[in-house]
Structure 1
Amino acid sequence: MSALSFPASRGPSRPGGLDTSLTRPAPGVHVLLVDGEVDTLTAPILGEALGGLLAAEPADAVVAVDLSGVGFLASSGLAVLIRAAHTAGSQGRVLHLLGGSRAVTRPLEVTGSDQLFTLLPALDELLARIDGDRPAG
């Protein structure tokens, strides 16, 4: 698994900080790890990381955002995720969201924007689905 840190990220050890990094846990699978709080101050960091991910990766790559490290998702963060889902859709793919806590999934459900994503509890489920979709041989 390889990891790249986006230079715009702030360490989550600071109150209100946000950290993002990109991993490639399997060929053709790109996961943006997000750790911290996504609010008005940190949403641009998430937006930059998602924009870079969606712009840099080939259209057939599976893209996911692991939100298991996010403890708070403000409306500004929700807007960033929605924009990224629309961008992914225009590229002919789905943006997967992984491991979101109730603090993350609730705003998605209340607004109905959960329908824009494939929500999965963890990376292993995403990888199992991908392996199930690949032809045997």
Structure 2
Amino acid sequence: MTESAPRSGHLSTHVSTPSPGRVIVHVSGEVDTLTAPELDAALDRQLDGPATSLVLDLTGVGFLASSGLAVLIKAAHVAEERGVALSLVTANRAVVRPLEVTKTAGMFTIHDSLVTAEAALDRDGTGSSEH
């Protein structure tokens, strides 16, 4: 099966639970005004659940607009309120640059790969190992 590249304005999310309490939300496509509500709803569902750690795999995100950034910031606040360790996985400039420019990167634990994010969680259970 061949997967096509995301269309403009397209967002795809997939949730995996590799171990109890650990949730990974894999996100691909563009996070903009049209798709940010879909991401927000997906994150709300996970933050309302039994997760103790939430990893957002943003390696497949090709564009992050201010509306998408707002969703990530909201998720960071909700995760903190609920005691959920939140981390982002991305080395993609399309995601990292908006976080840096708005000086919000410090709100997140950012890993450059899912392997390093999971290793940090395995090591300390919080995902607090910074990239």
For normalisation by structure 1, the TM-score amounts to 0.82
Using the alignment, how far apart are the partners of 2:79 and 2:6 within structure 1? 30
Residue 66 of structure 2 corresponds to residue 75 of structure 1: yes
Using the alignment, how far apart are the partners of 1:87 and 1:96 within structure 2? 13
Question: Can you give the 5+ residue segments of structure 1 that lack an aligned partner in the other structure?
Answer: 1-10
Question: Per-residue displacement from partner, 1:29-48 (whole Å, max 9, x unpaired)?
Answer: 20001010000000000100
Describe how 1:1-137 pairs up with structure 2 within 5 A.
13-58=6-51, 61-133=52-124
**Segments of 4+ in structure 1 off by > 6 A?**
none
**Aligned residues with identical type, % of pairs:** 48
* Paired letter, 1:18: L
For this pair of structures, how many residues does the alignment match?
Answer: 122
Report if aligned partners of 1:40, 1:74 keep a CA contact under 8 Å in 2: yes
Report if aligned partners of 1:63, 1:96 keep a CA contact under 8 Å in 2: yes
Using the alignment, how far apart are the partners of 1:112 and 1:15 within structure 2? 27
| Secondary structure of residue in 2 paired with 1:14 | coil
* Paired letter, 1:16: G
1:93 Cα deviation from its structure 2 partner: 2.9
Report if aligned partners of 2:90, 2:112 keep a CA contact under 8 Å in 1: yes
Question: Can you give the 5+ residue segments of structure 2 that lack an aligned partner in the other structure?
Answer: 126-131
